[in-house]
Amino acid sequence: MIPDHLSCRMLVEEVTEWMEGSLPADRRAELELHLVTCVGCTAYVEQLRQTSRAMAEAAQPDDEVPSAEVRSALLDLFRRRRPPDAVS
Amino acid sequence: MFATLVDRYHASLVRVAMHHVPSRAVAEEVAQETWLAVIEGIDRFEGRSSFKTWLFRILLNRARTRGVRERRTTPLSSLSTEPEDDRGPVVPPERFRGSDALWAGHWAAPPRRWEGESEARLLAKETWAHIDEALALLPAAQRDVLVLRDVCGLSGPEACEALGVSEANQRVLLHRARSRVRASLEHYLDDDTDSAGGVA
């Protein structure tokens, strides 16, 4: 049975605290119990996780960044400023 | 060593900078300036924070300064309007049962699972542009936290240090930002599924 005191409407506001591990232990237990029985909230939490993953995925460096010119210019600068033995 | 860092972080630096300056070209410049500052300052880097934190702090300072300067010479129309009033619920109240209903506060219109076609679309390249738009619509403080956490992969404590915000504040900003992007993606994916023939 879903506990009355933690509604889905409340869960969506507390879920980040839970994901970040900063919810007090008793509230955490209540939230986790809610998730066991609530299909809607389980889907909601999974959507948040998928949102995070999608953002990380969208950030994968593509082949144009950094450009070869920029990369070698930066490495040149680094070599000139650092003693040779500090460069690897 | 330096080459590895450039390869690992340059794209992230450009991406973070993009949210502060008007073009990719300027973002690229800001990222390069950041590397120059790293080269010049590496001897002063004391290892009290992680390298990543230090790097992104330099980048954010430069990107913000540059953003302010660029805006002075940029037409007003290109300025994003920032919804600063942001205290409402992250999910519209009408999606939950009313207070006089049985199961008050529980889902009336629960989210659908993103699986199968929805999940494939979520990870498709076309969705990246939508994610960028959703990020661009966030208030700056929320966007900075979300980009550092979810796009660049910084931990909570690293993001706090890079941004100079408290952990509690960081969690509030992350919560609002991530919830909004989720809602935006839900809208995008559900619309798409509906127009594709109502596949549930």
At B112, the pLDDT band (50, 70, 90 cuts) reads very high
- B7 to chain A: which residues are within 8 Å by CB? 61, 66, 71
**With a cut of 50, which residues of chain A have pLDDT below it?**
1-3, 87-88
Residue B26, token pair as written in the block:
């300027």
Give the SS3 label for residue B107.
Answer: strand
* Residue B20 vs residue B75, higher pLDDT: B20
Q: Which pLDDT belongs to residue B42?
A: 80
What integer pLDDT is reported at residue B76 of this predicted model?
Answer: 47
Which 3 state secondary structure label does DSSP give A69?
helix
**Model pLDDT for residues B2-19, shown as the tens digit of each residue:** 888 998 899 889 988 988
Is a pLDDT exceeding 60 seen at residue B143? yes
The CA distance from A41 to A37, in Å, is 9
**Cis previous bond, A66, omega within 30:** yes
Q: What is the pLDDT of residue B171?
A: 97
Place of tokens 């994901």: A19
- The distance from CA B113 to its chain's CA centroid, rounded to whole angstroms, is 23
**What is the arithmetic mean of pLDDT over B78-91?**
65
Predicted ipTM beyond 0.90? no
Q: What values do phi and psi take at A87, rounded to 5?
A: -100, 135
* HSE, side-chain direction, 13 A CA sphere, residue B12: 25
Chain A residues with CB within 8 Å of chain B CB:
2, 7-10, 12-13, 15-17, 20, 22, 38-41, 43-44, 46-48, 50-52, 54-62, 65-66, 70-71, 74-75, 77-78, 81-82, 87-88
Q: Are residues B11 and A62, on separate chains, in Cβ contact within 8 Å?
A: yes
Using an 8 Å Cβ cutoff, are A9 and B91 in contact? yes
Rounded to the nearest integer, the mean pLDDT of chain A is 85
Q: How many CB atoms lie within 10 A of CB B36?
A: 15
**CA-CA distance, B133 to B127, in Å (whole number)?**
10
Q: What is the pLDDT of residues B165-185, one digit of tens each?
A: 999 999 999 999 999 999 999
Contact residues on chain A for B149, CB-CB shorter than 8 A: 52
* Whole-prediction pTM: 0.83
Mean pLDDT in residue range B136-162: 92
Say which residue, B34 or B190, is predicted with more confidence: B34
| B51 close to B58: Cβ distance less than 8 angstroms | no
Quick check: B52 and B158 in contact, CB under 8 A? yes
Task: Name residue B107's beta-bridge partners.
Answer: B96
Of B133, B120, B149, B189, nearest to B56 by C-alpha is B149
Residue indicated by tokens 């929320």: B142
pLDDT of residue B102: 85
Q: What is the pLDDT of residue B78?
A: 44
Q: Which of B11, B93, B96 sits opposite A65 (nearest CB)?
A: B11
Burial class (CB in 10 A: 0-12, 13-18, 19+), B128: middle
